[in-house]
Amino acid sequence: MAPIPDVQVLLGVSGGIAAYKAADLVRRLRERGCAVRVVMTAVATAFVSPLTFQALSGHPVRTGLLDPAAEAGMGHIELARWADLVLMAPATADLIARLAAGLADDLPTTLVLATSAPLYLAPAMNQQMWRHPATQENLARLRGRGVRILGPAQGSQACGDLGPGRMLEPMQIVEALLADRSAAGAEAGTDPRSAPGPGPLAGVRALVTAGPTREPLDPVRYLGNRSSGRMGYAVAAALAGLGAVVTLVSGPTALPTPAGVARIDVETAAEMHTAVLGHVGAADLFVAAAAVADYRPAAPVAYKIKKTDTQLIVHLVRNPDILAAVAALPDPPFTVGFAAETERVEEQARTKLLAKGLCMIAANQVGAEQGGFERDENALIVLWADGRRDFPMMPKTRLAGELAQLIAERYVASP
């Protein structure tokens, strides 16, 4: 990615083990031509010395709100005005909670209230803390204010747990952040540091699902499907490009989080159901692009099933219907479904549209020589109550952009 010079990044470092990654983050930002100044919470200094950040950034590091030398010139206001963007990395659960509450009890939180620059958070915490309803509610509140959430990633954690909550790697943060700034500048036709243009979905809160689900049979095996998640991720990116505040609920994929999109990782259909219903209340628009398993093993076992019998009978039970549950809410968002069919594509999609009470449905054929799962291209038939539009075979990124434009048209025209 080409450098974007002269972007002034105010980096806030809060107290977690991922603070060590922030040192490399400073270096990576400066490699891309950014000017960086660092502020730290008191707890963060227990993990990494301020001297480290001073050496890497080339500027003194601020660690306290009441610094007599700096505050003689109202230093925190000067920093707040200096920044083109503010990045909190790592953003701990505590910092996220204080930002959501609008507190100004230390230097980083005070700067957030004192600046008009866009705010980005790179969360880092234990997987259970990330999943806690209080954390998710705080994130939803911040997204509603236009805060961009970068990550987190999923994997092994310092505490020994496995799951979502790892801070993105420094290069992932830099590329997501600068791509977002570059896209904003390109859309506005101005300097990349300019604020994003309004777009037809400016301020619209969009919830998108993508990828497959995995239903465990034993600790080694699972039932799944061939979805790569490419289409759903491309739709999430395209909606964000139109100005929407996007939250992506993703099944297991190897895809990077689209720039400026908040991502929640799940594995099973039940987990996706819980995540969607926990966030859809704050959504204006819901796009169900995930390939959710219709069934799951009734009784997954805790040990690896051995190859002892010539047959293995697995009893399956129905998974919750996420799309139907959202559409049936008393005050549902504008709801867009997907239908992946192997035959009678339009007929079966129209039946699904009417039976579930959807606003729109995007249908495609799978299992053919072109398009569908695990391919870079696709074609869609998009239906709504009194209309349709056909999109021929094309790359999924382009197709997602055209679909997002159509969704925006129909959303704006809806009652």
Chain segment 307-332, per-residue pLDDT in tens:
887 888 899 999 999 999 999 999 99
| pLDDT confidence of residue 94 | 96
Q: Which of 70-84, 86-100, 337-351, 365-379 has the lowest mean pLDDT?
A: 365-379
Q: Place 77 in a pLDDT band, splitting at 50, 70 and 90.
A: confident
Tell me which DSSP letter residue 274 carries.
H
**pLDDT tens, residue by residue, 38-57:** 999 999 999 999 999 999 99
Please give the pLDDT value at position 358.
96
Output the pTM of the full model: 0.55
Question: Residue 181 — pLDDT band, cuts 50, 70, 90?
Answer: low
Q: Name beta bridge partners: 215.
A: 223
Mean pLDDT to the nearest integer, 333-357: 90
Cβ atoms within 10 Å, residue 355: 10
Listed residue (361, 364, 367, 350) closest to 392, CA to CA: 364
For the residues 6-25, what does the mean pLDDT come to?
93
Do the domains spanning 8-188 and 205-413 agree at the CATH topology level? yes
Poorest-pLDDT segment among 181-190, 274-283, 385-394: 181-190
- Name the 3-class secondary structure at 224: coil
Q: Hey, what are 64's tokens?
A: 């306290």
CA 277 – CA 236 distance, rounded (Å): 18
Q: Above 80 in pLDDT, residue 154?
A: no
Q: How many C-beta neighbours within 10 Å does residue 399 have?
A: 24
Judge whether residue 176 has pLDDT over 80. no
pLDDT for 172 beyond 70: yes
Evaluate if residue 182 carries a pLDDT over 70: no
Mean pLDDT (whole number) for 159-176: 83
Per-residue pLDDT, 151:
78
**Residue 75: predicted pLDDT:** 59
E strands, 148-253, in order: 148-149, 153-156, 162-166, 205-210, 215-216, 222-223, 245-250
Are the C-beta atoms of 207 and 286 separated by less than 8 Å?
yes
* Predicted pLDDT at 370: 47
- Cα(285)–Cα(358) distance, rounded to whole angstroms? 12
Tokens 């100044």 correspond to what residue? 37
> Are residues 23 and 56 in contact, defined by beta-carbon separation less than 8 angstroms?
yes
In this prediction, residue 375 carries a pLDDT of: 58
For the ranges 73-82, 120-129, 142-151, 225-234, the maximum mean pLDDT occurs at 120-129
**Mean pLDDT score across all residues of the chain:** 86
Compute the average pLDDT of residues 143-162: 80
159 carries an active-site annotation = yes
Q: Answer for the pair 193, 181: CB distance below 8 angstroms, yes or no.
A: yes
Which token pair is 280?
Answer: 């859809």
CATH class of 205-413: alpha beta
- Contact criterion met (CB below 8 Å) for 212 and 224: yes
Q: Give the pLDDT of residue 1.
A: 42
Q: How many residues does the chain have?
A: 415
Report how far apart, in Å, the C-alpha atoms of 65 and of each of 39, 42, 61, 68, 111 are. Answer: 10, 10, 12, 9, 9
| Per annotation, catalytic residue among 51, 159, 186, 317 | 159
pLDDT band at 300 (very low <50, low <70, confident <90, very high): confident
Instruction: Give Dmax (Cα) for the chain.
Output: 81
* CATH H superfamily, domain 8-188: Flavin prenyltransferase-like (3.40.50.1950)
> 374 pLDDT band (50/70/90 cuts)?
low
Instruction: Give the pair of three-digit tokens for residue 199.
Output: 């777009």
Strand partners, 121: 88, 149
Q: No. of H helices and E strands in the chain? A: 14, 19
User: Nearest Cα to 407, choosing from 357, 366, 359?
Assistant: 359
pLDDT for res 102: 94
Q: Provide the pLDDT for residue 10.
A: 96
pLDDT, position 68:
62
Q: Coil, strand or helix: which one is 257?
A: coil
User: Which residue ranges make up each domain of the chain?
Assistant: 8-188, 205-413
Query: Over the stretch 191-222, which tens digit does the pLDDT of each residue have?
Result: 333 334 457 898 899 999 999 999 999 888 89
pLDDT at 369: 55
pLDDT at 180 over 50: yes
3-state secondary structure of 409: helix
Cβ distance 48 to 19 under 8 Å?
yes
Angle at 7 between CA 4 and CA 12, to 5 degrees: 125
Range name among 30-34, 85-89, 179-183, 350-354 with the lowest pLDDT average: 179-183
Residue 43 is given by DSSP the state: G
Structural tokens at position 177: 């952040």
Strands (E), 170-314: 205-210, 215-216, 222-223, 245-250, 262-265, 285-288, 295-297
Residue percentage of the chain with pLDDT more than 70 = 88
Q: Tens digits of per-residue pLDDT, 229-253?
A: 888 999 999 998 888 999 999 999 9
Residues 12, 261, 366, CA angle at the centre, nearest 5°?
Answer: 155
